[in-house]
Amino acid sequence: MGHAEGAISVDEADPVLRTTRRQALKESYRTMIVHMRHEIAHMLWWRLSLCDDFLNTLRDMFGDERADYPAARQRHYDGPPADWKQSFLTTYAPAHPLEDWAETAGHLLHLTDIADSFVAAGLSSPQLPHLNWDPYSEPDAARLIYVAADLSMGINNVNLSMGLSNIYPFVLSDVSRRKLAFVHDWLRRGAKGM
């Protein structure tokens, strides 16, 4: 999935092209669904930006979204900061506060869907709060993130035993967990019309 001057393309459906871009951009993974969730996160930001108190709290957590975007994008192509893993989920997130938001919100969607798919498949884990737990309605961000990350590690181990890639090859720093919780709480507020 990509865009050039407003034209949307799906050229990344080609696995060779997608892998080439992933490697060139030093990304842990790159799929159509990952890109789609990232773009959905931009739309969610726009909707939340209509709330009176959202932008000030966003700036406290992610930085000022009014920062020069073209300059930020150029810095991104020069490479992420050496210590990016301490505060960001991906190499793209440090590029700009809006990209950090979109990457973080996209990751919250990944983690929630991993947990939801696990439960929907009838699988069980001592980490699940209860048998019919619904990750999408979980009010406690810390619980959702903890359970989803734990389930992801287990599934990663199963995949690795078969020579497959990790489904979620990320380490959640304390800063990233706080950002994920921030997104979770704002998406819940937004869903309630607050």
- Each residue of 82-110: pLDDT tens digit? 999 999 999 899 999 999 999 999 999 99
Number of domains in the chain: 1
Domain span at residue 85 reads 41-188
Asked whether residue 135 is domain-assigned, the answer is yes
Asked whether residue 13 is domain-assigned, the answer is no
Q: How confident is the model at residue 13 (pLDDT cuts 50, 70, 90)?
A: low
Asked whether residue 104 is domain-assigned, the answer is yes
152-189: pLDDT as tens digits: 999 999 999 999 988 898 889 999 999 999 999 999 99
- pTM here is 0.87
Contacts 24+ apart (CB under 8 A), 177-180: 177/142, 177/145, 178/61, 179/61, 179/62, 179/89, 179/100, 179/104, 180/104, 180/107, 180/108, 180/111, 180/141, 180/145
Asked whether residue 162 is domain-assigned, the answer is yes
47-60: pLDDT as tens digits: 999 998 999 999 99
